[in-house]
Amino acid sequence: MNANPAWQTLQNLAKTDLDLNALFAKDADRGKTFSASACDIYMDFSKQVIDEVILQNLLNLANEFELSNKINDLLTGKKVNDTENREALHTALRSPKGETLMVNGVDVNTEVHASLSKAEILVNLIRQKIWRGYSGKAITDVVNIGVGGSDLGPLMATTALSEWADTDIKVHFVSNMDGTQLDSLTKVLNPQTTLFIISSKSFGTIDTLSNANTALQWLLAAHDNRATILHRHFIGISTRADKMSEWGIHTDNQLLLWDWVGGRFSMWSVIGLAIAIKIGMDNFYELLAGANLMDKHFAVADFRHNLPVLLGLIGVWNATFLNIHAHSVLPYDGRLSFFPNYLTQLEMESNGKSVNREGLAVGYNTCPILWGDIGSNAQHAFYQLLHQGTQRVSCDFITPIYRYNGAQIYNSSLANQHKLSLSNCLAQSQVMAFGNGALPDELKNKQDEFGKFKQYRGNQPSTTLLLNSLSPKTLGSLIALYEHKVYVMSVIWQINPFDQWGVEVGKVMANSVYNELQTTDFTNKFDSSTNALLGVIKNKGGGRQ
């Protein structure tokens, strides 16, 4: 177990019976005391099961683990991804033009903006209807083919920023290797006017390449000039120019990444091409600017008022010391419908580790299971468990303060709907925190009618994040906030958040199973369960159609 003084103190403090009703009764200003704001985001963490003593010891813990130095290592290009011996420079992807970051004798900022400049040329060609398909018609539909970070980030951001779309070009996303998404799209899209973006850091991911090959065959069925199809209907994004060329991507249509860009941190790079096509490069740069604002806040703000530091330390307190094994992200805004999915990968792929940087097994809980949904949908799905189940779950509530304001109001009922959404967001966090204690007297009396069936235990910890409004800039800040939260937690847990070896083993094993499906023989070379399943599949002719 960890011998750090603050760690030992926090372990003892976690054994005390802290209750949110009592904590709020003790401090009338608690709602203001346990809050912080930056980058147009207000964070209320007063409904977390902490007091000043716990918070101070969490801050002490950060200092004992030299968090300030670790933040500097991340932002200045040190090799924080030690198991792969490389930097994690996603913050450099959103640095303004003109800044300098020298890593291994190279100005990373210059390379990043050269890549973005090439992307901007392609974006303008597509948006201005200059880019033409094989028949001479302008592109009307763009399909982003990727998986993981090459899909989740762009999908989430284009959905969240749909109101900033100023083009009639439709952007679609394909990720699943079973072909369902692509099959559905090709039934309705016109091959003459469809452009595919193949996003793959390694350009070897089977999920992505299987979809890319199917897309190519679909286009060749409409027009058999392979060179023309590849030149006019495919853009490639990868670290491997050689592999893109080998597949057939024209050099004019190749956008390059770097090894130090982790997939789940890559949407700020040319991986975000689909976002830029949808909302334009100016708004894409605003997205980057918002993230850069959070980077600067993370770098210089005192830890007591540093949003990513506080969010990360609270996450450690809940998962490691209070043994809360689940965390739910609950945005009360339909535009953020894919945000919980995005964070699922960001947090669980980064911090789902049980071995520390020294290669030793950790003796404590690390990343909790994370999931979520739009708040109003979640209320009618899993809030029952949050309020009356047997599991403790920590939650993040996220909502914009302003929506449908100014020129956007074309129907007064929309403005009222936003108030309803805000009301539900605030009300749900109250009941989770205080249980029956949150209810007004007239409702408490009605609760007695059914006794224990209408009891809400409360003491479910939550943080509420209020955005001034949802815009490219605030979305950038919000995403960067969670990226840095992940890093803070990894420092305290002493794990590497930038590798993902657990993702690789299943892929390797799948190749062996795939080869087995290619034959009609029964080799029985796997475990008895897999052998039996393969037997059923082969006997029914599966895998060969």
* Distance from C-alpha of 343 to C-alpha of 486, rounded to nearest angstrom: 10
pLDDT for res 106: 92
Helical residues (DSSP H) of 248-374, grouped into ranges? 273-279, 281-300, 307-316, 339-351
Looking at the structure, do residues 139 and 272 belong to the same domain, yes or no? Answer: yes
- Mean pLDDT check: name the lowest of 98-107, 164-173, 344-353: 98-107
| Active-site residue, from 26, 380, 452, 540 | 380
d(CA 45, CA 23): 13
Mean pLDDT check: name the lowest of 279-288, 390-399, 402-411.
402-411
Helix axes 307-316, 52-64, angle to 10 degrees: 100
Residue 347 is a catalytic residue: no
What tokens were used for 109?
């900022």
Residue located via tokens 């193949």: 198
Provide the Cα torsion 330, 334, 336, 337; round to 10°: 80
Does 290 have pLDDT greater than 90?
Answer: yes
- Locus of tokens 């991911």: 205
Domain match, 311 and 250 both: no
502 vs 496: CA distance, rounded Å:
13
Indicate the number of domains in the chain.
Answer: 3
Report the alpha-carbon distance of residue 436 to residue 456 in Å, rounded: 5
Q: Are residues 306 and 445 both part of a single domain?
A: yes
Distance CA 370, CA 473 (A): 25
Selecting among 349, 353, 483, 484, the annotated active-site residue is 349
Quote the CA–CA distance of 318 and 113 in Å, as a whole number.
Answer: 40
Q: What's the confidence (pLDDT) of residue 510?
A: 86
pLDDT of 406: 53
Mean residue pLDDT across the chain: 93
Could you tell me which residues are beta bridge partners of residue 81? 86
Long-range contacts of 341-348 (CB under 8 A, 24+ apart): 341/152, 341/156, 342/152, 342/153, 342/156, 342/479, 343/370, 343/372, 343/482, 344/370, 344/371, 344/372, 345/148, 345/149, 345/152, 345/264, 346/264, 346/482, 346/483, 346/486, 347/482, 347/486
Same domain, 23 and 53: yes
Query: What is the pLDDT, as a whole number, of residue 457?
Result: 84
Its domain, for residue 515, covers 502-542
Tokens encoding 19? 């209750």
Lowest mean pLDDT among 229-233, 417-421, 446-450: 446-450
pLDDT value of residue 544: 53
Residue 75 lies in a domain: yes
512 and 409: one domain? Answer: no
Contact 276, 120 (CB under 8 A): yes
Position 433, amino acid: A
Q: Tell me, what CATH number does 160's domain have? A: 3.40.50.10490
- What value does the mean pLDDT take over residues 452-475? 93
Q: From 250, 283, 316, give the residue that closes a domain.
A: 283
Catalytic residue, from 419, 444, 507, 525: name it: 507
Residues 274 and 404 reside in one and the same domain: no
- 432 has pLDDT over 80: yes
What confidence score (pLDDT) does residue 540 get? Answer: 86
pLDDT tier at 155, thresholds 50, 70, 90: very high
In the residue annotation, 483 being an active-site residue is answered as: no
Query: Does 232 share its domain with 139?
Result: yes
List, for residues 306-355, the tens digit of each pLDDT value: 999 999 999 999 999 999 999 999 999 999 999 999 999 999 999 999 99
- Residue 243 near residue 130 (C-beta atoms within 8 A): no
For the chain, the C-alpha Rg in angstroms (whole number) is 25
Average the pLDDT over 454-480 and give the result.
Answer: 95
* Strand duo 462-467 + 41-44: pairing: antiparallel
Strand ranges across the sheet with 170-174 = 170-174, 141-145, 194-199, 234-238, 254-256
Whether residue 255 has pLDDT greater than 60: yes
For this structure, is 286 an active site residue? no
Structural domain ending residue among the three candidates 283, 307, 328: 283
Does residue 205 form part of some domain?
yes
What integer pLDDT is reported at residue 409 of this predicted model?
Answer: 47
Spacing of C-alpha 127 from chain mean position: 27
Give dist(CA 90, CA 267) in Å, integer: 9
By mean pLDDT, which of 31-45, 290-304, 441-455 is the weakest?
441-455
pLDDT in the model for residue 130: 97
Is the per-residue pLDDT at 24 higher than 50? yes
Q: What pLDDT is stored for residue 543 in this prediction? A: 54
The last residue of one of the domains, among 283, 306, 323, is 283
DSSP state of 354: S
In this structure, the answer to whether residues 440 and 342 fall within a common structural domain is yes
Map 129-192 to HEC letters.
Answer: CCCECCCCCECCEEEEECCCHHHHHHHHHHHHCHHHCCCCCEEEEECCCCCHHHHHHHCCCCHH
Question: Is the same domain home to 250 and 201?
Answer: yes
Q: Is residue 376 in a domain?
A: yes
Let me know whether 486 and 337 are in one domain: yes
Q: Does 20 have pLDDT greater than 80?
A: yes
Nearest to 330 by CA among 369, 374, 368: 374
Q: Of 42, 12, 25, which Cα lies nearest the Cα of 310?
A: 42
- In sequence order, the 6+-apart residues with CB closer than 8 A to the CB of 89 are 77, 101, 103, 108, 258, 260, 261
Is residue 91 domain-resident?
Answer: no
Whether 362 is in a domain gets the answer: yes
Q: What are phi and psi of 327, to 5 degrees?
A: -140, 130
Say if CB 463 and CB 45 are below 8 A apart.
yes
- Whether the per-residue pLDDT at 447 is higher than 70: the answer is no
Per-residue pLDDT tens digits for 197-221: 999 999 988 889 999 999 999 999 9
For 44-58, 398-412, 527-541, which range has the lowest pLDDT when averaged over its residues? Answer: 398-412
CB 141 within 8 A of CB 193: yes
Q: Is there a single domain that holds both residue 490 and residue 512? A: no
Q: How confident is the model at residue 407 (pLDDT cuts 50, 70, 90)?
A: very low
Q: What is the CATH number of the domain that holds 526?
A: 1.10.1390
Considering the domain architecture, whether residues 277 and 245 belong to the same structural domain is answered as yes
Average pLDDT over residues 158-163: 97
Report how far residue 373's alpha carbon sits from residue 359's, in angstroms, rounded to the nearest whole number: 35
CB 197 within 8 A of CB 274: yes
d(CA 406, CA 219): 45
